[in-house]
Amino acid sequence: MADRRATGSLERAVLERLWLAPEGATPGEVRRALDEDLAYTTVMTILRRLWQKGLVDRELRGRAYAYTAKTSEADLAATGMHAVFTAASDRRAALSRFVDGLSKRDEQALRKILDKTDG
């Protein structure tokens, strides 16, 4: 479990490097840019996994692949949010929404209130 989370945050760190390199980066370049001291094969594995997930593109550059990010940060956030939403609606978890759902009658009453006060 801890292992999986660690991999997830590494993937995230690698993606962040790729966002900063719009022209693409090879595993070696990504490895040098990362703060953490990682083996070349680790970085290569993470990049390949990202590619398999469809999050990055790659093209052969010399003898190595150069990787470019396909998704932006906002896209990734939206995916994460989607998971949170699903969990929340499944389990009624302790999530505080600003506003909850409305019944038909409440909806009409609220429209009336807004019409009156906005005028």
Partner 1 sequence: MKLSLLLPLALVLAAAGGLGLVQHRLRPRIAAWALTGVAVAGAAAATSVLLTMAFAFVHGVPWFGHRMLWCVHLTSTAGVATWALGAVTTGWSVMAVVRVRRRRSAYRALRAAGAQGPEVEIVAKGAPTAFSLPGRPGRIVVSESMLACLPRAEQAVLFAHELSHLSHRHDRFIHAADLASDVFPLLAPLASRVRYATERWADEDAAEAVGDRAIAARAVARAALAQNDAGPRLGLGLAGLGVLQRVEALMAGPPSGRIPAATLVATATSAIVVAASSTLQLHHLAMVAQHVCRMS
- Site of interaction with partner 1 (CB under 8 A): 74-75, 77-78, 80-81, 84, 87-88, 91-103, 106-107, 109-111, 113-114, 117-118
**Cβ closer to partner 1: 6 or 109?**
109
Burial of 67-86, coded b for 16+ CB within 10 Å and e otherwise, reads: bebebeeeebeeeeeeeeee
Q: How far apart are CA 38 and CA 58, in angstroms?
A: 21
Closest distance to partner 1 from the beta carbon of 82 (Å): 8
E strand or H helix that includes residue 42:
helix 40-52
**Cβ closer to partner 1: 63 or 97?**
97
Closest distance to partner 1 from the beta carbon of 14 (Å): 16
Closest distance to partner 1 from the beta carbon of 77 (Å): 6
DSSP 102: -
**Cβ closer to partner 1: 41 or 89?**
89
Closest distance to partner 1 from the beta carbon of 97 (Å): 4
**Cβ closer to partner 1: 39 or 94?**
94
Structure tokens that stand for 97 in this block: 């929404």
Closest by CA to 16, choosing from 28, 3, 38, 34, is 34
